[in-house]
Chains A and B, each alone.
Chain A
Amino acid sequence: MDFSAISPVALIVSLMAASTPILLAALGELVVEKSGVLNLGVEGMMIIGAVCGFIAAVTTGSPWLGFVFGAICGALLSMIFAILTQYLMANQVASGLGLTMFGLGFAALLGHKYSGIKPPKFHSIDIPILTDLPIVGPLLFGHDPMVYISILMVFVVWYFLNRTRAGLVLRAVGENHDAAHALGYKVIRIRIMAIGFGGAMAGMGGAYLSLVRVPQWTEGMTAGAGWIALALVVFASWKPGRALIGAYLFGGVTVLQLNLQAAGLSISPAYLSMTPYLVTIIVLVIMSADKARASLNAPASLGKLFHATT
């Protein structure tokens, strides 16, 4: 066993890339849940974003357009969920699971002609001198732009929820939709916008998978990333900053276990593969144990049906 072979810098760089898709999707879902809606269809929206982003990037030659188109398609798919749950008052859990099922199938249909193609390269930033600095260079100045955008989105979502009036209204809708409605807020319209934002972020996360992290399109390539994103939201107790920590922690444990194996650690890979999930549970338990604090952030109307009677 030779742990000195593991380079901490390389480890951190690769964990950031591994975490970016789930971070983006989790931030979107966080806003959705803050508005009082539980959308379990993140996996479906991610894979639609992955395939649509891929198709757009290959067709236009621009990865940027790929990310935009992936986000648009994720948002479009989320509208099925929005119509079902907001207008037709269907159960959110079942509708979300249905969205995942449909998204996985539909994405595979769309992408049928696109497997086996290389997407245009999405270049990492390269600032003269800075990127070449030892340690600090690759850690701070050597990522691709989406990594920075995902971190920026953490601030944007935090600022929106905590420092803007619109964010306050959104949270009010999530806390008590009847009261918000009585105050004259358009509960359904606000929630649909939140759902659309969640879809767009999941779609962008999916596009990151197919354009940067893997980079190629294959059926079923999200392989459960959407579920992890969902878990991150609860793990983060609906706080954007904690979602960042959670995503990097999860990505870190995932990448670390592969590195430990490559360094020759003799524990069954099956047990090592469990560790990210076990760590998530343990941290969750520690954070939830303080009941007063943990329940403070959970949107009170999460998953409940709303129908304006007047």
Chain B
Amino acid sequence: MLRLEQRPEPSRAMQIATPIIAVIATMIAGGVMFALLGSNPFTAIRIIFWDPIFNDVVASYTRPQLLIKAAPLILMAIGLSFGFRANVWNIGAEGQFIMGAVVGGGTALALYPYESFIVFPIIIVMGAVGGFLWAMIPALLKIKFNANEILVSLMLVYVAANFLSAMVTGPMKSPVGMGFPESRNFNEYQSAFNSELLSNTGLHFGVLAMMAAVVVGYIALTRHLFGFQIRVAGQSARASRFAGVNPNLTIALCLGISGALAGLAGLFEVTGPASKLSTNFPLGYGFTAIIVAFLGRLNPIGILFAGLLMSLTYIGGELAQFQLQIPAAAIQAFQGMLLFFLLGVDILINFRVRLKTKGVA
């Protein structure tokens, strides 16, 4: 039998080695699954991990797509990571993402066809406000009534999704859309369209915002009083009061920041890649972002890499699906495996594995 022995301090080498170990383990386990499904496991693994970055034919297209797909995940995950450190559990980023898109996108639809450079900044602010206000509902209910924020934020995801349905079948329905439940297309509205800034780089404002969030998030967490306060708040409510941290303010700030960033992500997504509000707009990015936040160990730099890895499995998974006809479900199971291994091997950072000699743990 094996036993775990706590290391005196976290191993730096393991911090770098564990993600690599996890990816290799996933390749082996996933390879077995693909082989069982009748596909060549080596080809499948190559297509998922290698082709989106290096393949001659598709990579020059998929490389920028990796950034585009990862941007909303990373932006939201960074916002969430603050709250998770402080034990404020916003599970409803998906709802805030939707409301950012509805409020910001709705503002754009209301301004249509007014063309001006001021339109885009206005809708960005409105997107953030939409997400922020939606996150303030669980924050206020938690502060005022002690209502559990996990539950309230989660329930509000479904409310937001239905609100979106109501909007796109009602006031926000496109007048030129033949009655389908979707809004006007934002790429027909120059001032509100989140277009690619440099062609074929994938850079749009959402990607820029994501990069800014990584930098600002890293500084806030490691160099700023705010980062200290949320870390204290996460350790114990008593300790944080001694440190002069107002717990209610922490709740409001953590939910507010994550809500605003999720709203921004939603706004950039709806005005850019998705290009319209429709009932199909919510794809679960808010839930995936929670996974990304933990995979990145609640650290902005880690989140950046985790988001890119997640995005790689999505895009590589798509390539593998239509080239090898691997079912979509297998890719989802594969992503689940990757997550299990990444989470599982992290224990090597803090613990050493020893052969057990005697007794029980």
Residue B177 lies at the interface, judged by CB distance under 8 Å to chain A: no
> Contacts A105-B332, A109-B327: A231 and B294 contacting too (C-beta < 8 A)?
no
**Which of the segments B123-131, B149-157, B256-264 contacts the partner chain?**
B149-157
Q: A105-B331, A105-B334, A288-B147 are in contact. Are A84 and B344 (CB under 8 A)?
A: yes
- CB within 8 Å of A: which residues of B? 4, 6, 37, 84, 89, 91, 141, 145-148, 150-152, 154-156, 158-159, 162-163, 165-166, 169-170, 287, 290-291, 293-295, 327-337, 339-340, 343-347, 350-351, 361
Q: How far is the CB of B152 from chain A (nearest CB, A)?
A: 6
Binding site for B on A (CB under 8 A): 40, 80, 83-84, 88-91, 93-95, 97-99, 101-109, 112, 219, 224, 227, 230-231, 234-235, 268, 270-271, 273-274, 277-278, 280-281, 284-285, 288-289, 291, 294-295, 307-309
Q: Which of A104, A274, A278 contacts B332 (CB 8 A)?
A: A104
Chain B contacts of A271 at CB under 8 A? 162, 166
In the complex formed, the residue of A with least CB distance to B348 is A88
A284 with B148, Cβ < 8 A, contacts A95-B343, A97-B287 known: yes
> How many angstroms from the CA of A106 to the CA of B37 in the assembled complex?
12
Contact status A98-B159, CB under 8 Å? no
Residue in A83, A88, A270 whose CB lies within 8 Å of B169: A270
User: Do most interface residues of chain B lie in helix, strand or loop, or is the interface mixed?
Assistant: helix
Total A-B contacts with CB atoms under 8 angstroms apart: 147
Whose C-beta in chain B lies nearest to the C-beta of A279?
B155
The complex places the Cα of A80 from the Cα of B336 at a distance, in Å, of: 11
Q: Are A109 and B347 in contact (CB under 8 A)?
A: no
Docked pose: A286 CA to B93 CA in angstroms: 24
Expressed in whole angstroms, the minimum distance between the Cβ of B315 and any Cβ of chain A is: 17
Given A84-B344, A270-B163, A277:B146 Cβ within 8 A: no
Please indicate the chain A residues that have their CB under 8 angstroms from the CB of B163 in the complex. Answer: 270, 274
- Collect the chain B residues with CB atoms within 8 Å of residue A278's CB: 155, 159
Q: Are A277 and B158 also in contact (CB < 8 A) when A84-B344, A90-B347 are?
A: yes
- Contact of A231 with B291 at beta-carbon distance under 8 Å, contacts A106-B329, A270-B169, A289-B146 already known: no
Given contact pairs A94-B343, A234-B148, A235-B151, enumerate 7 new A-B contacts (beta carbons under 8 Å).
Answer: A80-B340, A97-B339, A105-B333, A231-B154, A284-B147, A285-B141, A289-B146
